[in-house]
């Protein structure tokens, strides 16, 4: 038999089965699009970091030691011989200082964060070969090189920075993928910069194995063991740096992966259903082909090819869609690394479709081979008979139920072809699973957005801006600023603002927060600190573990802070500022997605000893019952404006990342549901074709179109009910697996309250998802069945 | 030709298909209540088209089809279904019994679709199966019956809702000689009891044995219309 004949058979098969072809195109399209997106995100989100880190031979672990590098002797170098250490650099002396630009570049009331300045003679080295982006490396005292991500506002090459009496000129901008420092000076400069401050030094290590946290932790343990007791005051893993750098895109990976796997499973299933159905419906055709001389292999190949044609179309479209969907997400990656377009790697666009096509061929091969191996005469006989199907006993029993006959006929229908019904139920179950999973994801994201922002407290927020009567000298607009123009100057007096709030009718309670950056041992650049004053009972905080601070000396911290510092709830942390230190005990792990997940929160009294240079304060006001927040905010704004503050109704946090996630979830879910519906549609079309004679008989006996529709919908409704009962619990289970993974991907722990989003009413509603999907998929072919011309079928054997 | 109270009236009926082929052309026909009309003719002469028009399974391109006072050509799909369940019984060459239902369930089906009370339907089905001599097969599936027995079950099902008109499409075409004679006798008995029958067949012997009147269609027109002298 010639290849041309086989080709014509294949093309004719594809052309004749338009519904099945469309279903196969869409299922492969969906699964490939989501798989490309998931794998692409996984690979591409880490790619810029990994590339830069590899090129620079970045430090797997940056360890800070107490004391002077000069007086340490030989032991720092000896730690390079610790088990598992492949290379080391250092010791490099370091100090934490605040570098100020001249007055014009600094916003009013802004206090620059402390920067980790390292004394280093050269950018090169066996570890952390820093890349110069602009200018040159520091060669003499009075020169500084800034890390590009840690530049003070307005700082560029040539800018003069001051730290106390020391003046430094920026001579270069550099990038350290492992973020070993915020700035570098020549070693000789560091002594002058340190002054009376406590000194420390850092060692940079690369390990022979550092792919996992456990491996990095093992290396850390070896170094701690090699160093004198108490010498190590902090260490930072490159995995934490990597995680922070890619957190926005990394958060997408778990759920997009889940959708990709769902899509893949559905593809296998639906393609299996479609091809089995195509083979089943074409049994007689197969018999004729074999009678004409087609070999079993050629018949099998013809049906695999019939699946591969729409499969290939779906795969190509899926690759295109996956890449289009990735564009906004990749833009996030590009922004993070300051690079231009980051694209999904080419190999992902090749490997994922190839794997999908292999799956399509595999799904088609089984039923095709079965048909091909059947004896020709048997195939011809089978194709000519209108089989009554199986399950006669149970169908007979269902027929005796006291329900309208079309309903009992519909109830019995799935038992006629149990394998087909089971496959359809599985497709619908996947659809119900996807809907349940998506609803859970959406609900959790809404809860996370609300609960993960402890700074959005009270009904009305008052922010201190600047006093209009005290402009800073030399600032643009200081001389001519008229009414309505925000004028730079000193921050508003918090005491005056507090008095204004207290005096306004409708105030129920108020607390005040002020933020700054403090040094934390072992953390480059320190950590944000938010100090609270007043009753924080009404503050919006959700605890992952432990409790909110309640006494002087207590603080709470988010997950990433605890992980980065190795601190646990119950441990004590030392905070320092300009040589002053204070110790606070961490009493709780707070859920906080702001400030890179590193913000410490405590009472003002607990950190008063630091005398930190607070930023302008915010007030969170809870209004008395019956008071309209909008009206109150208007009145309060009028009262505090002259003081240099502004009041507004507290708005819920907005997150473009969460919005993007929600949009993507809706789209992927709709695609899965559409595929599930198409799977049902395909089954009903096949059933209708198989039962055209029966439908004709019903019609001849007086079954109305409505009764036909009821019969068809009842048959799939039953399947949908069972599928929903299976799919909904699986969706809940998947949600419980994926949400913590998403939390881990962004370095946080999502509170269990935000994961337990499925209440009884919601579950009851979701339980109908299977029925809705099944009936939606069956509506169209049910209508076709009701309107089918059956006169000819009644005359045929 | 026909009595004063026709059950079937066709006035200038034409049926043309999409390929411009005229299956029926200007057919005018009246069938009285109690008649047994045999429709003869070669393949493609329009016999099946006529039967489909009478059953409400097809609509004429031109003309009027009235059965039992009802303009069948004007009925929508739902009304057609209601018409078939209440006024028409159909018997086919290949029986068209539902293989997955028992004999009783097959016979009950028209009554169930019409919403007849269960007890009444069951009693009527039992009566018909007894009358047609297949009561002992009530609980078996049609696949286990002989051709003649299957056709008897099909007739029972067609009579379930006491339709004024029985349409039979080659009812002996798939039967052996003995079973064919059996069905022929049955149809004759039914007609003798007053059942109006329209019988489409190639079988001249069947027509002669059962029909009180015979028409022959050629190219969609009545070429011959003969009253039986005796049967």
Question: Which chain A residues touch B118 with a CB distance below 8 Å?
Answer: 402
Instruction: Tell me whether residue B37 is in a domain.
Output: yes
pLDDT in tens, A656-679: 667 777 777 887 788 788 888 888
Return the pLDDT at A379.
59
**Is the alpha carbon torsion for A144, A148, A150, A155 positive or negative?**
positive
pLDDT in tens, B47-87: 989 999 999 988 999 999 999 999 999 998 889 989 998 99
Return the pLDDT at B162.
93
Instruction: Tell me whether residue B1 is in a domain.
Output: no
Structural domain of B213: 6-227
Mean pLDDT (whole number) for A454-458: 78
Q: Do A700 and B55 touch (CB under 8 A)?
A: yes
Nearest alpha carbon to residue A563 among A539, A530, A527, A532: A527
Of A287 and B159, the structure prediction assigns the larger pLDDT to B159
Whole-angstrom distance, CA of residue A638 vs CA of residue A605: 31
Which CATH architecture describes the domain A460-649? Answer: Beta Barrel (2.40)
Mean pLDDT (whole number) for A46-59: 79
Report yes or no: B181 at the A interface, CB cutoff 8 Å.
Answer: no
Instruction: Determine contact, residues A536/A547, Cβ cutoff 8 Å.
Output: no
pLDDT in tens, A685-697: 888 877 888 888 8
Return the pLDDT at B182.
86
Top mean pLDDT of A311-325, A475-489, A745-759 is at: A311-325
Residue A608's pLDDT band, with cuts at 50, 70 and 90, is confident
Return the pLDDT at A283.
66
Q: Do A705 and B94 touch (CB under 8 A)?
A: no
Residue A750 has pLDDT above 60, yes or no: yes
Q: Do B84 and A706 touch (CB under 8 A)?
A: no
**Mean pLDDT score across all residues of chain B:** 90
Q: Do A701 and B109 touch (CB under 8 A)?
A: yes
Give the count of beta carbons closer than 10 Å to the beta carbon of residue A613.
15
Give the start-to-end residue ranges of the domains of chain A: 1-60+264-385, 61-209, 390-452+655-797, 460-649
Q: Do B100 and A705 touch (CB under 8 A)?
A: no
pLDDT in tens, A375-428: 666 655 554 444 455 677 888 888 888 889 999 999 988 888 888 888 889 889
CA distances from A15 to A20, A280, A631 (A): 10, 17, 67
Q: Do A787 and B99 touch (CB under 8 A)?
A: no
* CA neighbours closer than 13 Å in the CB half-sphere of residue A761: 0
pLDDT in tens, A767-781: 899 999 999 989 988
Selected for mutation to probe chain B from A702, A782, A793, A795 (highest B CB count within 10 Å) is A702
Question: Which chain B residues touch A396 with a CB distance below 8 Å?
Answer: 101-102, 105
Report yes or no: A378 at the B interface, CB cutoff 8 Å.
Answer: no
pLDDT in tens, A212-258: 888 988 888 888 888 887 788 778 888 887 777 666 566 677 777 78
Return the pLDDT at A476.
37
Q: Do A707 and B113 touch (CB under 8 A)?
A: yes
Residue ranges in chain B assigned as alpha helix (H):
47-55, 77-87, 103-114, 118-131, 147-159, 177-192, 204-210
Whole-angstrom distance, CA of residue B118 vs CA of residue B122: 6
Of A491 and A61, the structure prediction assigns the larger pLDDT to A61
Residue A504 has pLDDT above 70, yes or no: yes
Instruction: Tell me how far apart the terminal alpha carbons of chain A are, to the nearest angstrom.
Output: 31
Residue B2's pLDDT band, with cuts at 50, 70 and 90, is very low
Residue B58: give its domain's CATH number: 3.40.50.300
pLDDT in tens, B9-38: 999 999 998 777 888 999 999 999 999 999
Report yes or no: A385 at the B interface, CB cutoff 8 Å.
Answer: no
Q: State how far residue A43 is from chain B, nearest Cα, in angstroms.
A: 56
Q: Do A702 and B81 touch (CB under 8 A)?
A: yes
Q: What is the pTM of this model?
A: 0.71
Question: Which chain B residues touch A693 with a CB distance below 8 Å?
Answer: 96
Whole-angstrom distance, CA of residue A66 vs CA of residue A200: 5
**Mean pLDDT score across all residues of chain A:** 79
Percent of chain A residues topping a pLDDT of 90: 12
pLDDT in tens, B56-67: 988 999 999 999
Residue B7 has pLDDT above 90, yes or no: yes
Whole-angstrom distance, CA of residue A697 vs CA of residue A788: 12
Nearest CA in chain A to B139: A396
Return the pLDDT at A6.
55
Instruction: Tell me how far apart the terminal alpha carbons of chain B are, to the nearest angstrom.
Output: 18
Residue A200's pLDDT band, with cuts at 50, 70 and 90, is confident
Q: Do A791 and B52 touch (CB under 8 A)?
A: yes
Q: State how far residue A281 is from chain B, nearest Cα, in angstroms.
A: 19
Return the pLDDT at B103.
94
CA distances from A429 to A20, A727, A761, B22 (A): 20, 4, 20, 51
Mean pLDDT (whole number) for A717-733: 93
Question: Which chain A residues touch B139 with a CB distance below 8 Å?
Answer: none
Nearest CA in chain B to A391: B100
Nearest alpha carbon to residue A541 among A651, A655, A446, A450: A450
Selected for mutation to probe chain B from A396, A695, A700 (highest B CB count within 10 Å) is A700
Residue A453 has pLDDT above 50, yes or no: yes
Report yes or no: B11 at the A interface, CB cutoff 8 Å.
Answer: no
Question: Which chain A residues touch B99 with a CB distance below 8 Å?
Answer: 386-388
Question: Which chain A residues touch B105 with a CB distance below 8 Å?
Answer: 396, 399
Selected for mutation to probe chain A from B47, B81, B85 (highest A CB count within 10 Å) is B81
Instruction: Tell me whether residue B145 is in a domain.
Output: yes
Of A452 and B68, the structure prediction assigns the larger pLDDT to B68
Mean pLDDT (whole number) for A729-751: 86
B 137-176 residues with CB below 8 A of A?
141, 143, 157, 161, 169, 174
Q: Do A699 and B99 touch (CB under 8 A)?
A: no
Residue A40 has pLDDT above 90, yes or no: no
Residue A790 has pLDDT above 90, yes or no: no
Question: Angle at the Cα of A404 (from A399 to A409), degrees rounded to 5?
Answer: 40
Nearest CA in chain A to B142: A388
Report yes or no: A795 at the B interface, CB cutoff 8 Å.
Answer: yes
Residue bearing tokens 């869609």: A321
Q: Do A698 and B100 touch (CB under 8 A)?
A: no
Mean pLDDT (whole number) for B150-179: 91
Report yes or no: A220 at the B interface, CB cutoff 8 Å.
Answer: no
Mean pLDDT (whole number) for A584-600: 84
Of A662 and A704, the structure prediction assigns the larger pLDDT to A704
Question: Which chain A residues touch B173 with a CB distance below 8 Å?
Answer: none
Instruction: Tell me whether residue B211 is in a domain.
Output: yes
| Sequence-ordered strand ranges (E) for A71-159 | 85-98, 114-119, 131-135, 143-147
Report yes or no: B18 at the A interface, CB cutoff 8 Å.
Answer: no
Whole-angstrom distance, CA of residue B8 vs CA of residue B28: 10
Nearest alpha carbon to residue B53 among B75, B38, B33, B78: B75
Residue B67 bridge partners (DSSP): B8, B70
Q: Do A699 and B84 touch (CB under 8 A)?
A: yes
Total CB pairs under 8 A between chain A and B: 92
Residue B168 has pLDDT above 60, yes or no: yes
Q: State how far residue B3 is from chain A, nearest Cα, in angstroms.
A: 28
Return the pLDDT at A407.
92
Q: Which of A259-263, A482-486, B34-38 has the lowest mean pLDDT?
A: A482-486
Instruction: Determine contact, residues B78/A704, Cβ cutoff 8 Å.
Output: yes
Q: State how far residue A317 is from chain B, nearest Cα, in angstroms.
A: 39
Residue A361 has pLDDT above 80, yes or no: yes
Mean pLDDT (whole number) for A584-595: 85
Query: How many residues are given for chain A?
Result: 797
Instruction: Tell me whether residue B141 is in a domain.
Output: yes
Question: Which chain A residues touch B112 with a CB distance below 8 Å?
Answer: 404-405
Instruction: Determine contact, residues A516/A613, Cβ cutoff 8 Å.
Output: yes
Number of domains in chain B: 1
Return the pLDDT at A609.
82
Nearest alpha carbon to residue A555 among A614, A606, A609: A606
Nearest-CB residue to B100 (from A392, A704, A797): A392
Instruction: Tell me whether residue B68 is in a domain.
Output: yes
Q: Do B94 and A405 touch (CB under 8 A)?
A: no
Return the pLDDT at B67.
96
Q: Which of A292-306, A591-605, A637-651, B118-132 has the lowest mean pLDDT?
A: A292-306
Residue A47 has pLDDT above 70, yes or no: no
Tell me what ipTM this predicted complex has.
Answer: 0.85
Q: Which helix (H) or strand (E) holds A679?
A: helix A656-690
Residue A162 bridge partners (DSSP): A100, A167
Three-state secondary structure call for residue A223:
helix
Q: Do B93 and A795 touch (CB under 8 A)?
A: yes
Q: Two tokens at A762?
A: 């919601």
Q: State how far residue B208 is from chain A, nearest Cα, in angstroms.
A: 23
Return the pLDDT at A233.
78
Report yes or no: B24 at the A interface, CB cutoff 8 Å.
Answer: no
Give the count of beta carbons closer than 10 Å to the beta carbon of residue B20.
6
Residues 6+ apart with CB under 8 A from A220: A61, A63, A235, A237
Q: With helix as H, strand as E and coil as C, how does A301-332 read? A: HHHHHHHHHHHHHHHHHHHHHHHHHHHHHHHH
Return the pLDDT at A386.
42
Residue A2's pLDDT band, with cuts at 50, 70 and 90, is very low
Instruction: Determine contact, residues B205/B128, Cβ cutoff 8 Å.
Output: no
Report yes or no: B62 at the A interface, CB cutoff 8 Å.
Answer: no
């Amino acid at each position: 038999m010639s290849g041309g004949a086989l080709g014509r058979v294949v093309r004719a098969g594809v052309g004749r089965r338009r519904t099945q072809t469309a279903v196969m195109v869409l299922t492969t399209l969906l699964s490939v699009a989501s798989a490309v997106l998931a794998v692409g995100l996984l690979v591409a989100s880490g790619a810029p970091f990994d590339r830069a880190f590899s090129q620079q031979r970045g430090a797997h672990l940056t360890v800070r030691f107490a004391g002077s590098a000069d007086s340490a002797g030989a032991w720092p170098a000896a730690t390079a011989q610790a088990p598992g250490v492949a290379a080391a650099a250092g010791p490099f002396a370091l100090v934490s200082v605040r570098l100020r630009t001249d007055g014009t570049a600094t916003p009013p009331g802004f206090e620059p964060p402390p920067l980790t300045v390292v004394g280093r003679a050269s950018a090169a080295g066996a570890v952390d070969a820093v890349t110069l982006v602009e200018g040159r490396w520091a060669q003499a005292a009075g020169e500084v090189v800034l890390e590009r991500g840690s530049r003070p506002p307005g700082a560029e090459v040539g800018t003069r920075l001051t730290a106390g009496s020391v003046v430094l000129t920026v001579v270069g901008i550099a990038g350290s993928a492992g973020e070993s420092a915020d700035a570098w000076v020549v070693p000789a400069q560091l002594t002058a910069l340190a002054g009376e401050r406590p000194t420390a030094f850092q060692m940079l290590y690369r390990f022979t194995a550092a792919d996992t946290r456990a491996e990095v932790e093992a290396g850390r343990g070896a170094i701690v063991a090699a160093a004198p007791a108490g010498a190590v005051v902090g260490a930072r893993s490159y995995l934490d740096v990597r995680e922070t750098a890619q957190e926005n895109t990394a958060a997408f990976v778990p759920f997009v992966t889940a959708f990709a796997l769902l899509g893949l499973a559905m593809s296998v299933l639906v393609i299996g259903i479609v091809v089995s159905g195509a083979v089943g419906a074409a049994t007689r055709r197969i018999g004729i082909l074999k009678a004409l001389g087609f070999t079993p292999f050629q018949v099998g190949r013809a049906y695999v090819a019939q699946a591969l044609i729409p499969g290939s179309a779906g795969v190509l479209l899926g690759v295109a869609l996956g890449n289009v969907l990735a564009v906004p997400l990749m833009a996030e990656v590009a922004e993070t690394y300051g690079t231009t377009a980051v694209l999904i790697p080419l190999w992902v666009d090749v490997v994922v479709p190839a794997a999908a096509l292999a799956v399509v061929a595999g799904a088609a091969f089984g039923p095709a081979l079965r048909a091909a191996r059947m004896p020709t005469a048997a195939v011809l006989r089978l194709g000519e008979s209108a089989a009554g199907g199986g399950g006669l006993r149970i169908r007979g029993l269902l027929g005796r139920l006291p329900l309208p006959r079309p309903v009992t006929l519909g109830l019995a229908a799935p038992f006629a072809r149990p394998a087909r019904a089971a496959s359809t139920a599985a497709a619908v179950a996947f659809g119900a699973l996807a809907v349940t999973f998506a609803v859970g994801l959406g609900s959790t994201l809404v809860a996370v957005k609300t609960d993960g922002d402890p700074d959005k407290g009270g009904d009305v927020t008052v922010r201190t801006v600047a006093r209009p009567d005290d402009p800073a000298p030399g600032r643009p607009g200081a001389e001519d600023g008229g009414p309505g123009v925000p004028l730079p100057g000193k921050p508003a007096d918090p005491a005056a603002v507090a008095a204004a709030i207290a005096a306004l009718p409708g105030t129920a309670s108020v607390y005040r927060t002020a933020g700054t950056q403090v040094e934390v041992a072992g953390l480059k650049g320190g950590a944000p600190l938010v100090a609270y004053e007043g009753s924080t009972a009404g503050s919006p905080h959700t605890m992952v573990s432990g409790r909110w601070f309640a006494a002087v000396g207590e603080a709470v911290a988010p997950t990433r802070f605890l992980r980065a510092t190795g601190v646990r709830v119950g441990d004590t942390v030392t905070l320092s500022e300009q040589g002053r230190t204070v110790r606070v005990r961490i009493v709780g792990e707070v859920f906080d997605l702001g400030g890179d997940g590193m913000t410490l929160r405590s009472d003002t009294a607990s950190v008063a000893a630091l005398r930190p240079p607070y930023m302008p304060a915010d007030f969170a006001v809870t209004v008395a019952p019956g008071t309209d927040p909008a009206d109150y905010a208007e009145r309060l704004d009028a009262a505090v404006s002259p003081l240099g503050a502004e009041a507004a109704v507290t708005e819920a946090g907005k997150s473009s990342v969460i919005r993007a996630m929600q949009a993507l979830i809706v789209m992927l879910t709709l695609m899965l549901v559409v595929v599930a519906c198409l799977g049902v549609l395909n089954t009903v079309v096949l059933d209708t074709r198989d039962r055209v004679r029966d439908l004709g008989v019903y019609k001849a006996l007086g079954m109305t179109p409505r009764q036909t529709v009821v019969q068809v919908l009842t048959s799939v409704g039953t399947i949908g009910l069972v599928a929903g009962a299976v799919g909904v619990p699986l969706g809940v289970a998947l949600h419980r697996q994926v949400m913590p993974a998403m939390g881990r991907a962004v370095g946080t722990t999502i509170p269990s309250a935000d994961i337990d989003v499925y209440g009884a009413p919601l579950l009851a509603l979701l339980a109908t998802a299977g029925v809705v999907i099944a009936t939606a998929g069956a509506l169209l072919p049910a209508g076709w069945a009701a309107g089918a011309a059956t006169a000819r079928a009644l005359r045929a054997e | 030709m026909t009595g004063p109270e026709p059950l079937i009236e066709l006035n200038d009926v034409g049926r043309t298909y999409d390929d411009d082929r005229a299956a029926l052309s200007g057919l005018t026909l009246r069938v009285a209540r109690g008649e047994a009309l045999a429709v003869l003719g070669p393949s493609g002469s329009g016999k099946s088209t006529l039967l489909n028009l009478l059953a409400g399974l097809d609509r004429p391109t031109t003309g009027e089809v009235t059965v039992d006072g009802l303009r069948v050509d004007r009925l929508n799909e739902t009304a057609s279904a209601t018409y078939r369940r209440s006024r028409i019984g159909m018997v086919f060459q290949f029986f068209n019994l539902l293989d997955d239902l028992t004999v009783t369930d097959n016979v009950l089906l028209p009554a169930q679709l019409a919403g007849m009370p269960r007890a009444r339907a069951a009693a009527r089905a039992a009566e018909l199966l007894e009358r047609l001599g297949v009561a002992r097969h009530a609980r078996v599936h049609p696949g286990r019956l002989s051709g003649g027995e299957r056709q008897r079950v099909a007739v029972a099902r067609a009579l379930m809702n006491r339709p004024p008109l029985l349409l039979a499409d080659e009812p002996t075409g798939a039967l052996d000689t003995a079973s064919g004679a059996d069905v022929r006798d049955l149809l004759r008995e039914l007609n003798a009891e007053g059942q109006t029958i329209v019988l489409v067949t190639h079988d001249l012997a069947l027509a002669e044995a059962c029909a009180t009147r015979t028409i022959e269609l050629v190219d969609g027109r009545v070429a011959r219309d003969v009253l039986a002298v005796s049967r």
